[in-house]
Amino acid sequence: MEKECTHDCGSCGETCDERTGEKVDFSAKLNEHSKVKKVIGVLSGKGGVGKSIITAMLAVSMRRLDHHVAILDADITGPSIPKLFGLKEKAYANDLGIIPLATKTGIDVISINLLLDNETDPVIWRGPIIGGTVKAFWSDVVWKDIDFMFIDMPPGTGDVALTIFQSLPIDGIVVVTSPQELASMIVGKAVKMAQMMNIPIIGIIENMSYFKCPDNGKDYQIFGPSHIEDIASAYNLRVLAKIPIDPNLSSLSDLGLIELFKGDWLAKIPEVFEKL
């Protein structure tokens, strides 16, 4: 724009994306050889709450019910999905598009770490390039007959989250938080962003909610008392699960064996997804 915008489009001859009453279509086109039925974003207000592990566990839970499942790792600068599933090969492309890698149980995965020469190479890109990469993961990858696609979104409410909400057909999001009051406060920002973008919120999951002592069977709130019920009440959300601190879960994640996790913490969630 050559002059300062007054937001009075009736008296302005400029052509811009901000013109009142004119909607710009940011949607990314799905690859013509792809078919994806439901898309679920997994979002957190801040990093360090275990969003990627929750994404992986949700995908594994749906795969165990014989659904064809995929994960689009949209956390471009901090990808961890390949590590959780022990994926070390590189994705490749053919005449149809980019072919995602399949995990041991058949979950299709695409991540920037599956395209880099070295998984420890940093991705030093600006926002528009990162956003373009996420859209390419949707448009250029061949997603065959996917029942549920989970998008591991980067933490926060920045460029990439906005790109995903505007460009991909999100059927709903799951918000991940932890018991700390700070994390609970910040998750409100993620919830409000989704509401402002008219993205349905499926529910909220509290990770690292407690630790069950193997010696006495008691639950200990390592990170302080839970605030998830307060958040759910404030925003009229459903509490989907409370995931404990589980050393075995951490070990499986480090070994790339997340598909072997045990626990019924997510048992009620597949029914919620299937009703979307």
Of 224, 240, 142, 231, residue with least CA distance to 191: 231
Q: Which residue has better confidence, 114 or 18? A: 114
Contact 162, 135 (CB under 8 A): no
Q: What is the mean pLDDT of residues 7-23?
A: 53
pLDDT score at 17 = 56
> How many domains are there within the chain?
1
Instruction: Kindly tell me the burial class for residue 97, based on how many C-beta atoms sit within 10 Å of its own C-beta (0-12, 13-18, 19 or more).
Output: middle
Contact 34, 143 (CB under 8 A): yes
For residue 2, is it within any domain?
Answer: no
Query: Model confidence over 223-276: pLDDT tens digits?
Result: 888 888 888 898 899 999 999 999 999 999 999 999 999 999 999 999 999 998
Query: Model confidence over 119-172: pLDDT tens digits?
Result: 888 888 888 899 999 999 999 999 999 999 999 999 888 889 999 999 999 999
pLDDT score at 10 = 47
Q: What is the CATH number of the domain that holds 57?
A: 3.40.50.300
pLDDT score at 226 = 86
Of 207, 275, 273, residue with least CA distance to 241: 207
Secondary element (H or E) of residue 187: helix 181-196
Q: What is the mean pLDDT of residues 93-107?
A: 97
Beta bridge partners of 69: 148
Domain range holding 192?
Answer: 26-270
For residue 65, is it within any domain?
Answer: yes
Query: Model confidence over 195-215: pLDDT tens digits?
Result: 899 999 999 999 999 999 999
CA distance 172 to 44: 14
Contact 195, 217 (CB under 8 A): no
Of 233, 146, 158, 150, residue with least CA distance to 190: 158
For residue 5, is it within any domain?
Answer: no
For residue 117, is it within any domain?
Answer: yes
Contact 230, 240 (CB under 8 A): no
